[in-house]
Structure 1
């Protein structure tokens, strides 16, 4: 061992926290790249330990279960109990709610109160017909958080939020299906279509307003 090795300093607690927080936020944005729901839970466990918030995180998980947002198969299972489209971006949006409440979510755009209230108010109206990702972006503007990859054809979730952790997130879930390479088309739709608008914080199933396409994809009850 050299003198340089013995003098090497370990990371500070603040550096470790910054690293974990950056990884958590990267996973919320690209869950498929980092390992999906399992990776999210690991980063949340690590952040809760780092911030001495293990009990608060356990209570958060209990709340998810009580609200029907976490089943034996996780948050993904909660989405799959509603329809056949439980994608990783949808799952990430639920964890984003938890991150926002704990002050761990880095927002790309913070909505002012009047803009947020306006979006909450028109969500149900948007769901009266089928709309594409481009149409919604044209009306709502850039999201506070984009969950999902950069592939323009793949499913995505757009999240809109204020700076206040107790304001529920407005989550817009978009779906598309990639087709076999042998077909002439890349995907079923030219761009993802809106399945539902979800307002966080409520009982899971009660938070959704479905579009016609979203309704058609739901399991029969």
Structure 2
């Protein structure tokens, strides 16, 4: 005889799934899988307007379009790391609800030092290992540990009231050059740092490499490497 699980058991299971999805969203089918799971969690918590309120908050900050978060992010970042950037948005939302499980927490002092160094750090190009050397292992690694693929490093304190900081890294083919595998770089390079609750794109600080790719994207959005998937 089958046993029907309780609401508490389902709640814990869905939170576990959300954390897996945020870290490896591509393995679960992309953004629709996340917002569907969010909606189930909102329902279990008695918040029937949860997803609508979340999307409205994103729209107010110009983070959301008819094509979802992906459509907005594709104007700022290469296509190959947009999925990880989407997951970072849901990571913030999950943390605000107490759903996000952190692998490491920063102290308030460490977060303050990180925030103060963002502008100067982004003034130069850095690769993945240099970001970790500067700020330590992330609170959440979005996109997996394979060095040939882009990823997003999330940093956070234990206090959900403190904004998270996200480092968006990319490892792909330079615009106008032939695609190669493995990529020419041995590890992904930092393109942008996102932090705070400002309007987009003001919440992003771009590195020289990030600005270069962004200019190319805006000039020629049909490029395969940096096109938006509309």
**TM-score if structure 1 supplies the norm length?**
0.90
Moved more, 42-51 or 78-87: 78-87
- Mapped to 1, the partners of 2:76 and 2:173 lie a distance apart of 21
Structure with more relative contact order (C-alpha pairs < 8 Å, separation 6 or more): 2
Q: Are the counterparts in 1 of residues 39 and 50 from structure 2 also a CA contact under 8 Å?
A: no
Quote the Cα distance in structure 1 between the aligned partners of 2:204 and 2:198.
Answer: 10
2:201 corresponds, among 201, 205, 221, to 205
Name the residue aligned to 1:169.
164
**Using the alignment, how far apart are the partners of 1:202 and 1:46 within structure 2?**
29
State the partner residue of 1:149: 144
Q: Which of 137, 154, 158 is the equivalent residue of 1:159? A: 154
Q: Which runs of 5+ in 2 are unaligned?
A: 220-230
- For 1:201 and 1:55, how far apart are their aligned partners in 2? 21
Question: Any conservation in 2 of the 1:116–1:161 contact (CA below 8 Å)?
Answer: yes
The one of 20, 39, 42 aligned to 1:26: 20
TM-aligned CA deviation for residue 138 of structure 1: 0.7
Per-residue Cα deviation, 1:82-130 (whole angstroms, up to 9, x for no partner): 2433521111001111111111111111111101111111111111110
Of the three residues 91, 95, 105, the one matched with 1:96 is: 91
More displaced stretch, 129-138 vs 72-81: 72-81
What secondary structure sits across from 1:205 in the alignment? Answer: coil
Cα distance change of structure 1 residues 133 and 117 upon mapping to structure 2, 3 Å threshold:
same
Aligned 8 A contact 1:171 1:200 in 2:
no
Distance in 2, matches of 1:152 and 1:119, equals 23
| 1:216 aligned to which of 206, 212, 222 | 212
> May I ask how many residue pairs the two structures share in their alignment?
214
Query: Distance between the aligned counterparts of 2:107 and 2:77, measured in 1?
Result: 33
Is 1:63–2:57 an aligned residue pair? Answer: yes
For normalisation by structure 2, the TM-score amounts to 0.87
- Give structure 1 stretches of 5+ with no counterpart: none
Q: Distance in 1 between matches of 2:74 and 2:206?
A: 15
SS in 1 for 2:49: helix
Measured after TM superposition, the shift of residue 178 of structure 1 is 6.3
Matched-pair contact (CA < 8 Å) for 1:161–1:167? yes
Q: Tell me if structure 2 keeps the 8 A contact 1:174–1:192.
A: yes
For residue 121 of structure 1, the aligned residue among 89, 97, 116 is 116
Among candidates 97, 101, 118, match of residue 106 of structure 1: 101
Tell whether the 8 Å contact from 2:14 to 2:37 is kept in structure 1 after alignment: yes
Distance in 2 (alpha carbons) for counterparts of 1:196 and 1:186: 23
